[in-house]
Structure 1
Amino acid sequence: MQHKNAEYFKRIIAFIDDYAVNNGSSPSVREISNGVGLSTATVSRYMQKMKANGELDYDGHRSIVTKRQKQTLAETVEIPILGSVSCGVPKFAEENIEEYVRLPVSLFGRGDFFLLRANGDSMIEAGIDYGDLVLIRRQNYADSGDIVVALMDDEATLKRFYPELENQRIRLHPENSEMDDIYVDNCIIQGVAVKVIKDLE
């Protein structure tokens, strides 16, 4: 293909990447054709050339993966949002996946994570406000002082964890000076909070 048509390559790749971001899937050849203003035959020829050059993978209908998409998949990790967790009165833990989001490995690392939406105001002094997304590392243990998702009789809550071995109990501490500690004989640790994702006002 002639050098003067290099712009076509850029337009096709840009359309595929934008379409994938906005729709969560690859476009069809006809959609690319309509989007970039080229015939489907021309788009197909250019895509075959890009495939041969290793610029994209293409195995048929709606299965196009560009270099940029490969890089994004390699540099991000897919994490489920599992609904809300109480930051006040403990609330029943329903593991209904609302959606999946991709987070950059460079900022969040790799591991077995899930996201919960904070519900309540008991952790506001730890910087966790109503509606924030809290990134939880899934594990069944915690160190004293960790902020944990604690499950008690099918009710989950987000609190700071303090085992009191001398009293044979666990103190779940809200980070809100107007609220009292919760004392339980036992609880199941579902994970430890590691990051908070919030909107800035």
Structure 2
Amino acid sequence: MQHKKEEYFNRISEYIESYWHRYGVSPTTRAIADGTDLSNSTVSRYLQYMRDKGMIDYRGHRCLRTRRQIADAAGRTSVPLLGAVACGVPKLAEENIEEYVDLPVSLFGRGSFYLLRADGESMIGAGIGPGDLVLVRAQDTAEPGQIVVALMDTEATLKRYYPEPEKKRIRLHPENDSMEDIYVSDCEIQGVAVKVIKDLH
């Protein structure tokens, strides 16, 4: 589907979930169209695309569920895996998501999360090595000392966050004694790292 709109995916998914919560069944295509202010043909095209891409599960009449609903029912949460952090963090849009990873809620909790693949050795002192998956809670603020995904212009980096307002700058600290701190006048926080998933050697 060309020129697909992320807003439409979100609008349709959210309506399906709210309808299920209210009525205990999934909505019809017409109900989705009415509830999202989209045309019936647009909803039909998007539902077909979402089914083909595994974004929703369709098992017959009035049995339509989003990935989040399926994961929640199984006590799991579905988290998008984006690219390597050293290559920049793309927006949380469907076309930038490599895959979804189901994580047990009992271990990782619930919230708005995404996964990044660590690249480089700047955070090895914090136990984050190349190839590790870093679970990031999506948020735009952080406390001093937290490990954040910081966007500087178009480059994203994973570092400890130390604001220095008296010097009108932010210090981004690598957990590697061979590397220097990074100083920026401003950066955009895209999330706070909360867990690391790694292979044992």
- Interval containing the TM-score (normalised by the shorter chain): 0.5 to 0.7
Instruction: Report the counterpart of residue 45 of structure 1 in structure 2.
Output: none
Structure 2: how far apart are the matches of 1:110 and 1:199?
23
Letter in 2 for 1:119: D
Q: Cα distance, 1:166 vs. partner?
A: 1.1
Letter in 2 for 1:140: D
Residue 93 in 1 paired to residue 89 in 2?
Answer: yes
Structure 1: how far apart are the matches of 2:110 and 2:103?
10
Structure 1: how far apart are the matches of 2:90 and 2:72?
30
Structure 2: how far apart are the matches of 1:71 and 1:151?
30
Instruction: Report the counterpart of residue 129 of structure 1 in structure 2.
Output: 129
> For 1:65-144, what aligned pairs fall within 5 Å after superposition?
73-86=73-86, 91-95=87-91, 96-144=96-144
Count of aligned positions = 136
Structure 2: how far apart are the matches of 1:59 and 1:186?
49
- Secondary structure of 1:166's match? helix
Q: Cα distance, 1:154 vs. partner?
A: 1.3
Structure 2: how far apart are the matches of 1:71 and 1:139?
22
Letter in 1 for 2:152: M
Q: Is the radius of gyration larger for structure 1 or structure 2?
A: 1
Unaligned runs of at least 5 residues, structure 2:
1-57
Q: Cα distance, 1:93 vs. partner?
A: 2.6
Instruction: Report the counterpart of residue 151 of structure 2 in structure 1.
Output: 151
Tell me: CA distance 1:185–1:59, structure 2 relative to 1, closer, same or farther (3 Å): closer
Tell me: CA distance 1:160–1:71, structure 2 relative to 1, closer, same or farther (3 Å): closer
- Secondary structure of 1:119's match? coil
Asked whether the 8 Å contact 2:150–2:156 carries over to 1, the reply is yes
Structure 1: how far apart are the matches of 2:124 and 2:187?
23
- Secondary structure of 2:73's match? helix
Structure 2: how far apart are the matches of 1:100 and 1:115?
9
Letter in 1 for 2:180: D
Structure 2: how far apart are the matches of 1:72 and 1:162?
36
Instruction: Report the counterpart of residue 168 of structure 1 in structure 2.
Output: 168
- Secondary structure of 2:135's match? strand
Structure 2: how far apart are the matches of 1:141 and 1:186?
13
Instruction: Report the counterpart of residue 183 of structure 2 in structure 1.
Output: 183
Give the TM-score normalised by the residue count of structure 1. 0.63
Structure 2: how far apart are the matches of 1:113 and 1:167?
32
Q: Cα distance, 1:92 vs. partner?
A: 3.0
Tell me: CA distance 1:71–1:172, structure 2 relative to 1, closer, same or farther (3 Å): closer
Structure 1: how far apart are the matches of 2:179 and 2:194?
23
Tell me: CA distance 1:59–1:92, structure 2 relative to 1, closer, same or farther (3 Å): closer
Q: Cα distance, 1:73 vs. partner?
A: 3.4
CA-to-partner distance for each residue in 1:139-185, whole Å, 9 max, x for gaps?
00000000000001011000000001110100000000000000000
Structure 1: how far apart are the matches of 2:117 and 2:59?
38
Unaligned runs of at least 5 residues, structure 1:
1-57
